[in-house]
Chains A and B, each alone.
Chain A
């Protein structure tokens, strides 16, 4: 079963072979986790997002129309979950008395980036810089550079024109360059 393509597994699943979901889950869970981690910088949250995304995929696969690829559809689930979590994190930060000065959550972002990267200064600076990008730009940078998805695929996932995706990438690289100009290679 592990040699089958995503499309073949989806087809099996839709014909009633629920066991076809396991290889799909195994194939995509690591990517879901790393995407979520790079968008949220929170290991527990990312594990949660991964698990929830798999659950939603399982529940929704029967209605999945197959127009987009499984990968596109699944990435969209993960990205949307990340957006939701980040939004509710901002609400939480607003409510938690301790973090009243940090209603947008960026401080917390930077903090966890520092902790995660204590061993490697450059890596930590990069994580911080990526975290500081506007959400729409960060999503594109992470998906293109780290998930290795082509621009056309990213456009599909985000439901945006390819030209917009490309220009967000260029914008992201400019912002990152500015933030990382004093970092040694």
Chain B
């Protein structure tokens, strides 16, 4: 049974507003309207109680942010995310082009002079500089630049792989249909060939990441020797 008050707002409207009520974001008038409705309407009251219970449960999940940034890790997360067991999927020329593109990205360099820090990756493909006093902030950010660059390369590689995966699976299926019962030697060779390609790719990427990490570690050692004020807690362990 609904009284006059509940008619002013319908249940649908009330239910959409329950989160605002729970998070105390409703102003006086709307609040009153919603509260009156809930008071009088069993279903909306049940919904509100259910939401309250859910919110209390949500509170049990806490996340502790690391106290201090760890700018230097022995293994960067890019490295740990590298595809180790890649499925042999790339077809022909596309794979070869990418191998060269990746392997061409070699060499990391850094310079530090007059408070200016410059890290260069590859053949001038990326550089970043930070001008400021707080090297504890600057160095991790430079590492993030390097990581992002590596990520972009990993991702564009993976996108091409994915596109090729679809095509390759289609071709395999065609062959399977064409060669029912026959020994499919050509397919086996294709797979072996692709596997070699991928090992080269993964190796190239891993090497890049290692170069970058090593260069940044050297940089850090150099900076902390030159400037003892740099906190040692951030040092590579």
* Chain B residues closer than 8 Å to A100, beta-carbon distance: 87
B62 touching A123, Cβ below 8 Å = yes
Chain A contact residue count (CB 8 A cutoff): 56
CA distance A163 to B78 in the complex (A): 39
Contact B19 A144 (CB under 8 A): yes
CB contacts (< 8 Å) of B197 on chain A: these are: none
Q: Is the CB of B17 within 8 A of A166?
A: yes
Across the interface, name the chain A residue whose C-beta is closest to B154.
A88
State the CA gap A55–B144 with chains docked (Å): 7
Q: Do residues B132 and A18 form an inter-chain contact, with CB atoms below 8 A?
A: yes
Smallest CB separation, B230 vs chain A (Å): 13
Task: Evaluate contact between A130 and B51: CB separation under 8 angstroms.
Answer: no
Q: Which of B78, B83, B131, B137 contacts A25 (CB 8 A)?
A: B137
List, sorted by A's number, 12 A–B pairs whose CB atoms are closer than 8 Å: A29-B69, A51-B144, A55-B144, A58-B141, A88-B154, A91-B155, A94-B162, A146-B61, A166-B16, A170-B16, A177-B51, A185-B53
In the complex, the 10 A-B pairs of residues with the closest C-beta atoms, listed nearest first: A51-B144, A44-B77, A30-B65, A18-B132, A33-B65, A55-B144, A169-B19, A126-B61, A22-B134, A97-B87
Question: Chain B interface (Cβ within 8 Å of chain A)?
Answer: 15-20, 23, 25, 50-51, 53-58, 60-63, 65-66, 69-71, 77-78, 80-81, 83-87, 89, 128, 130-134, 137, 140-145, 147-148, 151, 154-155, 158-159, 161-162, 165
